[in-house]
Chain A
Amino acid sequence: MAYTIEGSTGPWEVVVGLEVHAQVISQSKLFSGAATAYGASPNSQVSFVDAAFPGMLPVPNREAIAQAVRTGLGLNAQINLVSRFDRKNYFYADLPQGYQISQFEHPIVGTGVVEIELADGSTKEVGITRLHLEQDAGKSVHDQHPTKSFIDLNRSGVALMEIVSEPDIRSPEEAGAYVKKLRSILRYLGTCDGNMEEGSLRADVNVSVRKAGEAYRTRCEVKNVNSVRFVMQAVEVEALRQIAVWEGGGEVQQETRLFDPNRGETRSMRSKEDAHDYRYFPDPDLLPVVLEQGWVDGLKAALPELPDAKQARFMAEYGLSRYDAGVLVAEQATALFFEGVAKGRDAKIAANWVTGDFFAAMNRTGRTIEDPPVSAAALGQLLDLMADSTINGKIAKEVFEAMVETGKGPAAIVDERGLRQVTDTGAIDAAVDAVIAANPEKVAEYRSGKDKLFGFFVGNVMKAMAGKGNPALVNAALKAKLG
């Protein structure tokens, strides 16, 4: 079912395209040797180039260019062997040069495609229009002085990839799924850390609405949205706003808007009247970027397995559902962890444990997949103890919690705490007899046809055996004795 918003005049379709700015992972800036690390003291990671001092010149960073190419390859996109840097001219407090070096006419990466997956299990392709490299601006701080803004140029000149999508997105869910998928690909590639809180990934959301079958109506750009949730909210509230404008007899004006998450609304930033005239032209300090096909091929050969391929492999190799495989490949480290647990074991049980108890433990302890509460090897050993009937599933959960708490291996915990499964039929028979003897009425009820009571007997026998009874043997003994 296509997503629509019901207005007073009927259903409206939402049309969304995204421009994502992704900060390139590199040691130094796009055109200078200053560092890119996050959180340094103001203006400490600034060269005279970044501060646009007289006579300073840009020299491009080979790694930033390689990162853009890797990303293009990861987006199944065309790599342009000849591209060019242009200047985008405008004045702003945190734009020292008075222009941003960007790529306008000849971007380094052309059209590509990203496949997204939706909650109903369906997939959809979102077209990539282009990816280009550009410089980040500095940062203005407005809240430290009553009449002044303060400028920190640490971010000035950091390499960004601007990834522009086609207007193929039709719902808040698709917008969210697109950003998540893009982030996943970037993180796999190691070209952007995807950290939206620190601003390494930010989205400009272009939204318009239309009636079914219409051409595109005027769009508005919601700038710098910095979380997946906000992207989804921004699409929805901006679509609702535009529908209200159209249905109120007005006309949506093309403009740049800001999403205010506190109020859950977008508001106008600057109007069309003082629209910028960026006067793009080729940067005369820089020559065209000319790449060799062999170099691009080398980068391609060194790419890691990407989420789509990995998901397909997990389904084929481990027999996982599309959904489980999707959850496990979203982060490369999770997929790696899973494979560490699943190798040589029952993959479905491994998947259940990783996405179930393990994820829960990670959330609860605040640990990360890079610094997990239980190692993949230890979790695998736990699964082995279940497989060889040393413990049963219920005890395994107890052992797992003890592993999280103490950091000890599963075998040690089982031994220490005497959690070995009881397979001695004598002991099991004794426990079964005792439970039957203690509950004559329930036995009668069961025998008169109340089959559901079987679970009651299993539970009580297990309780009597401190959970350590072999479930299959307990079941068999009960079946035999209850008749």
Chain B
Amino acid sequence: MLTDLTLAEARDGLRARKFSAVELTDAYLAAIEAVNPKLNAYVLVTGEAARAQALAADAALARGDAGPLAGIPLAIKDLFCTQGVRTTAGSRILEPFIPPYESTVTANLLRDGAIFLGKANMDEFAMGSSNMTSAFGPVTSPWTRRGDNRALVPGGSSGGSAAAVSARIALGATATDTGGSIRQPASFCGITGIKPTYGRCSRWGVVAFASSLDQAGPVARNVEDAAILLRSMAGFDPKDSTSADLPVPDFAAACRRGVKGLRIGVPKEYRSEGMPAEIEALWQQGLGWLREAGAEIVDVSLPHTKYGLATYYIVAPAEASSNLARYDGVRFGARTAGEDLASLYENTRAEGFGAEVRRRVLIGTYVLSAGYYDAYYLKAQKVRALILKDFTDVFRTVDALVTPTAPSAAFAQGEKMDDPITMYLNDIFTVPANMSGIPGLSVPAGLDAQGLPLGLQVLGRPFDEETVFAVGAALERAAGFTALPGIRAGAGAGG
């Protein structure tokens, strides 16, 4: 069926007029109608607009001036502002917000002819690793453990995007990654996701969580699809003064490069205590595949990696506490009345933000407050400098690093919810790339004993996504990952 095609296949089919963009879009809208009630991956489906976009794509295809993504139906993480289409960031406080502007990344996708099926669910303000913190209800993973029907989390914060792509109710999706929010859900859902280099995709129009860490990227069925999407999403944007003024390479071409002669580093510090043996085994297997494909495997050390997460939980909440100050019930979004302005602020923010957001805003406020700044924030920035230095040093001798994406497979909804730190540990392998700005990709490499997907992570030099794609694609070819989630388009009742 149409929803089984990869993005590259769908693109070629559309070009060859084997099917129309309207047919493809309708297939996805029908799949969403059937499957989304089980997953809650979309918080808003924009069927009418999608059909109109599909008609336009068909016209462009007929004229022969179609963009590279003409007719490709995507899900858009609800962190990206979409003009005239409600954008909530997964938060009650933005429930009524209709942006009068289009984010640069989504505008780039529209320019290239993409079709937007709707807005994908996510952890509130991208704060979470489970999609349990969304004000619009959790997302259920399309995957279940063998012989166990308990609902699992899709990972987070881009849980809706990952679940939609995995369940084949979107051909690809936009996502964002502040501490692992693209790579960890990609790993949990058995799909590919890449966080490009900081500055590769414009942050303009993306609701900010932690400005110095946030980076947009795609999640997709496979590495090549992710490469195709990233090429459209990326690019210099004068409206974001941290956007890199560099040409965007043909990432898909890089997927075909192979790894012969590449030096792949294996950071010894990523062997975290208590990491399941099957993840360790999969990692070794991945390294073996690369060696067979002609790469040289090198042991390296990133001595400050283990401090990445603690550093992250100072820097990200600090920036968030300031970035989220604008949600005050005055110019947009929800307002809860108060007898004066101060109580209007306090009521609006107490009711508008969920527990995790409140917790992080409070932590961030505390670490920046008078008397604590040096002990927390300044210290964290110095450790951050050391983390960057670790990477800079190893990338003098290796071309890429390969690690597990996450320390576990997906967990059940309600698990790991008691102690915030247990949840935070999900991002232990992904956070260092955000702290240092380097690109990171997660590719599905196998299943655990319970039949859940596990991803491997490829890290690369700043602005060298091409090598990251080359290594990711080599892992993908060797892994031959073909497993499918139980809940998906066309899988029949109950999935």
Binding site for B on A (CB under 8 A): 48, 51-60, 87, 89, 91, 93, 96-99, 149, 151, 277, 279-281, 284-287
Whether a CB of chain A sits under 8 angstroms from the CB of B87 is: yes
Known: A53-B332, A287-B241. A279 touches B206 (CB 8 A): no
What is the CA–CA distance of A56 and B100 in the complex, to the nearest angstrom?
A: 12
Contact of A91 among B212, B325, B369, B370 (CB under 8 A): B325
7 pairs, CB–CB < 8 Å, chain A vs chain B = A54-B99, A55-B207, A56-B204, A57-B242, A98-B328, A99-B322, A281-B322
The 4 closest A-B pairs by CB, nearest first: A98-B325, A279-B368, A284-B211, A284-B212
Which residue, of A59, A89, A97, A284, has the highest number of chain B Cβ atoms within 10 A?
A284
Q: Distance in Å from the Cβ of A280 to the closest Cβ of chain B?
A: 8
A-contact bits for B198-214, CB 8 A (1 contact / 0 none): 00000111111011100
Kindly name the residue among A54, A99, A277 whose own CB sees the greatest number of chain B CB atoms within 10 A: A54
Residues of B within 8 A of A97 (CB): 325-326
Q: Which of B81, B365, B369 contacts A55 (CB 8 A)?
A: B81
Q: Is the CB of B325 within 8 A of A55?
A: no
CA distance A285 to B213 in the complex (A): 10
Decide: A57 near B239, CB < 8 A? Known: A51-B331, A284-B210: yes
Contact partners of B207 in chain A: CB under 8 A: 54-55
Which residues does chain A contribute within 8 Å of B319, judged by CB atoms? 284
- In Å, the complex CA distance between A54 and B331 comes to 11
A54 to B319, CA, bound (A): 14
CB distance from B341 to the nearest CB of A (A): 6
Residues of B within 8 A of A277 (CB): 369-370
How far apart are the CA atoms of A98 and B242 in the complex, in Å?
Answer: 21
Contact B322 A89 (CB under 8 A): yes
B97 at the interface (CB under 8 A from A): yes
The distance in angstroms between the C-alpha atoms of A97 and B323, with both chains bound, is 8
Contacts of B204 in A (CB 8 A): 55-57
Chain A residues positioned under 8 Å from B89 (CB to CB): 54
Least Cβ–Cβ distance between B87 and chain A, in angstroms: 7
A54–B97 touching, CB < 8 Å: yes
Partner of A281, one of B208, B328, B368: B368
- In the assembly, what is the distance between CA of A280 and CA of B341, in Å? 23
Cβ-defined contact, B370 with A287, below 8 A: no
Q: Which residues of A contact B326 (CB under 8 A)?
A: 52-54, 96-98
Whether the Cβ atoms of B211 and A53 lie closer than 8 Å is no
B83 to chain A, nearest CB (A): 11
Q: In whole angstroms, how far apart are the Cα atoms of A55 and B368 in the complex?
A: 22
Q: What residues make up the interface of B, taking CB atoms closer than 8 Å to A?
A: 80-81, 87, 89, 94, 97, 99-101, 103, 203-208, 210-212, 238-242, 318-319, 321-322, 324-326, 328, 330-332, 341-342, 345, 365, 368-370, 373, 377
| A53 CB contact (under 8 Å) in B99, B322, B342 | B99
| Separation of A56 and B205 alpha carbons in the complex (Å) | 6
Given the known inter-chain contacts A53-B332, A284-B210, please indicate yes or no for A59 contacting B239, CB distance below 8 A: yes
Residues of A within 8 A of B206 (CB): 55
Query: Could you say which of A53, A60, A281 contacts B331, with CB atoms under 8 Å apart?
Result: A53
Chain B residues in 8 Å Cβ range of A285 = 208, 211, 241-242
Question: How far is it, in angstroms, between the C-alpha of A250 and the C-alpha of B178 when the chains are bound?
Answer: 54
The residues of A that contact B373 with a CB separation of less than 8 Å are 279-281
Q: Are B87 and A54 in contact (CB under 8 A)?
A: yes
Chain A residues lying within 8 Å of B332, measured Cβ to Cβ, are 53-54
Q: Is the CB of B368 within 8 A of A60?
A: no
Give complex CA distance A285, B345 in Å.
Answer: 24
Known: A53-B326, A53-B331, A281-B322. 8 other contacts (CB 8 A): A48-B101, A60-B241, A89-B325, A149-B341, A279-B322, A281-B318, A281-B368, A286-B241
Question: Which residues of the partner chain A approach B212 to less than 8 Å between Cβ atoms?
Answer: 284
Contacts A57-B203, A284-B212; A151 near B330 (Cβ below 8 A)? yes
B318:A57 contact, CB within 8 angstroms: no
In the complex, the chain B residue whose C-beta lies closest to that of A91 is B345
Q: In the docked arrangement, what's the CA distance between A28 and B83, Å?
A: 25
Q: Considering the chains assembled together, what is the distance between the CA atoms of A97 and B325 in angstroms?
A: 6
CB-based contact A58/B325 at 8 Å: no
CB of A338 to closest CB in B, whole Å = 45
**In the assembled complex, which residues on chain B have CB atoms less than 8 Å from the CB atom of A280?**
368, 373
Which of B81, B238, B325 has the largest count of A CB atoms less than 10 A from its CB? B325
CA distance A98 to B341 in the complex (A): 13
**Chain B residue at minimal CB-CB distance from A33:** B239
User: How far apart are B492's CB and chain A's nearest CB, in angstroms?
Assistant: 40
Chain B contacts of A57 at CB under 8 A? 203-204, 239-242
Is the pair B325, A99 in contact by a Cβ cutoff of 8 Å?
yes
Q: How many angstroms from the CA of A60 to the CA of B328 in the assembled complex? A: 25
A60 to B238, CA, bound (A): 11
Instruction: Give every chain A residue within 8 A of B325 (Cβ-Cβ).
Output: 89, 91, 97-99
Q: Report the Cα distance A281→B380, complex, angstroms.
A: 12
Q: How far is the CB of A376 from chain B (nearest CB, A)?
A: 46
Q: Which residues of A contact B94 (CB under 8 A)?
A: 54
**B103 and A55: CB pair below 8 A?**
yes
B331: chain A residues within 8 A (beta carbon): 51-53, 96
Chain A: which residue is nearest B79 at the CB level?
A55
Please indicate the chain A residues that have their CB under 8 angstroms from the CB of B322 in the complex: 87, 89, 98-99, 279, 281
Provide the residues of chain B in CB contact with A52, threshold 8 Å.
Answer: 326, 331
Q: What chain B residues lie within 8 Å of A60 (beta carbons)?
A: 241
Q: Which residues of the other chain, B, contact A98 by a CB distance below 8 angstroms?
A: 322, 324-326, 328
A151 to B206, CA, bound (A): 26
Which residues of B are found within 8 Å of A286, using beta-carbon distances? 241-242
Bound state CA distance, A57 and B89, in angstroms?
17
In the complex, the answer to whether A54 meets B370 with C-beta atoms within 8 Å is no
Asked if A279 and B365 sit within 8 Å, CB to CB, the answer is yes
- Chain B: minimal CB distance from A215 (Å): 24
B205 to chain A, nearest CB (A): 4
Bound complex: CA A60 to CA B241 (Å) = 8
- Measured between beta carbons, the chain A residues less than 8 angstroms from B100 are 48
- Closest-by-CB residue of B relative to A58 is B241
B208→A54 contact, CB < 8 A = yes
**In the complex, what's the smallest C-beta–C-beta distance from B174 to chain A, in angstroms?**
13
Question: Closest residue to B88 on the A side, CB-wise?
Answer: A54
**Nearest B residue to A278 by beta-carbon distance?**
B370
Q: In the complex, which residue of chain A has the Cβ closest to the Cβ of B319?
A: A284
CB contact between B330 and one of A54, A59, A93, A281 (< 8 Å): that residue: A93
Distance of A397 from chain B, by nearest CB (Å): 61
Q: Report the minimal beta-carbon distance from A273 to chain B, rounded to whole angstroms.
A: 14
Q: What is the distance, in angstroms, from B214's C-beta to the closest C-beta of chain A? A: 9
Q: How far is the CB of A461 from chain B (nearest CB, A)?
A: 79
Q: Is the CB of B205 within 8 A of A55?
A: yes
Q: Which residues of chain A are near B101, meaning CB under 8 Å?
A: 48, 53
Q: Which residue of A lies closest to B214 (CB)?
A: A284
CA distance A54 to B321 in the complex (A): 14
B-side contacts of A281, CB under 8 Å: 318, 322, 368, 373, 377
Q: How far is the CA of A52 from the CA of B325 in the complex (A)?
A: 10
A92's closest neighbor in chain B, by CB? B341
Closest residue on chain B to residue A93 by CB atoms = B341
CA distance A91 to B100 in the complex (A): 25
Closest to A285 in B: B211
Q: Which residue of B lies closest to A94 (CB)?
A: B330
A34 to chain B, nearest CB (A): 14
Minimum Cβ distance to chain B for residue A31 (Å): 9
Chain B nearest Cβ from A245, distance in angstroms: 27
Could you tell me if B241 and A55 are in contact, using CB atoms closer than 8 angstroms?
no
* Known contacts A54-B81, A279-B368, A59 near B203 by CB under 8 Å: no
Q: What CA separation (Å) do A52 and B330 show in the bound complex?
A: 11
Q: What's the nearest-Cβ distance from chain B to residue A291, in Å? A: 16
**Neighbouring B residues of A51 by C-beta, 8 Å:** 331
| Minimal Cβ-Cβ distance residue in B for A46 | B331
In angstroms, Cα B351 to Cα A277, docked, is 24
- Measured between beta carbons, the chain B residues less than 8 angstroms from A48 are 100-101
The interface residues of chain B lying within 8 Å CB-to-CB of A96 are 326, 330-331
The docked-state distance in angstroms from the alpha carbon of A98 to that of B239 is: 21
Distance (whole angstroms) from the CB of B353 to the closest CB of chain A: 13
**Chain A, Cβ-Cβ closest to B80:** A55
How distant is the Cα of A96 from the Cα of B325 in the complex, in angstroms?
A: 9
